[in-house]
Amino acid sequence: MTKETAEEPVSLSAALASFTAQWSPRIVATVNDYDVRVAKVEGEHLWHAHDDTDEFFLVLTGELHIGLREADGERTVVLPQGSVFTVPRGTEHKPYAPVPTEILLLEPTGTSTVGDRHEEIPSHVDATTGHALA
């Protein structure tokens, strides 16, 4: 598969089975100027914000919690398997997976996993714009 076009369908389960790294998304497809990414996650990510784009999450397996810092304070949304949620642009957020979880993300191509503003990046978080599928 090239970045511009996919010649064959992509199996999400096969894509997820092709790597083990946590918080290190793989690009499985592109739609216009957006990457469709899958990632394996467990534990905490970091507080960060994307100034110019929303961030779409779909939980494929497991459960994802997303802490949000909003004008009226902090709250956490819980996404069980099969749930979707969009973090609005500019909103500080911190994903956390209490169990091994697999997610699908939709973000503009070139969007960093640690956003435009963030805390110190822990060693278990891959600061990337996504990796090509092997």
Confidence (pTM): 0.92
Q: What's the pLDDT score for residue 42?
A: 97
Q: What is the DSSP string of 19-68?
A: ---BT--EEEEEETTEEEEEEEEEEE---EE-SS--EEEEEEESEEEEEE
Total tally of structural domains belonging to the chain: 1
Answer whether residue 127 is part of any domain.
no
Judged against a pLDDT cut of 60, whether residue 71 lies above it is answered with yes
Domain with 34 in it: 26-118
Residue 79: CATH number of its domain: 2.60.120.10
Answer whether residue 52 is part of any domain.
yes
Answer whether residue 92 is part of any domain.
yes
Answer whether residue 82 is part of any domain.
yes
Under a CB-based contact definition with an 8 Å cutoff, are residues 16 and 28 in contact? no
Answer whether residue 113 is part of any domain.
yes
The predicted-structure confidence for 44-63, as pLDDT tens digits, reads as follows 999 999 999 999 999 999 99
- Provide, rounded to the nearest whole percent, the portion of the chain with pLDDT above 90: 90
CA dihedral (89, 35, 15, 76) in degrees, to 10, reads 10
The predicted-structure confidence for 19-46, as pLDDT tens digits, reads as follows 999 999 999 999 999 999 999 999 999 9
Answer whether residue 14 is part of any domain.
no
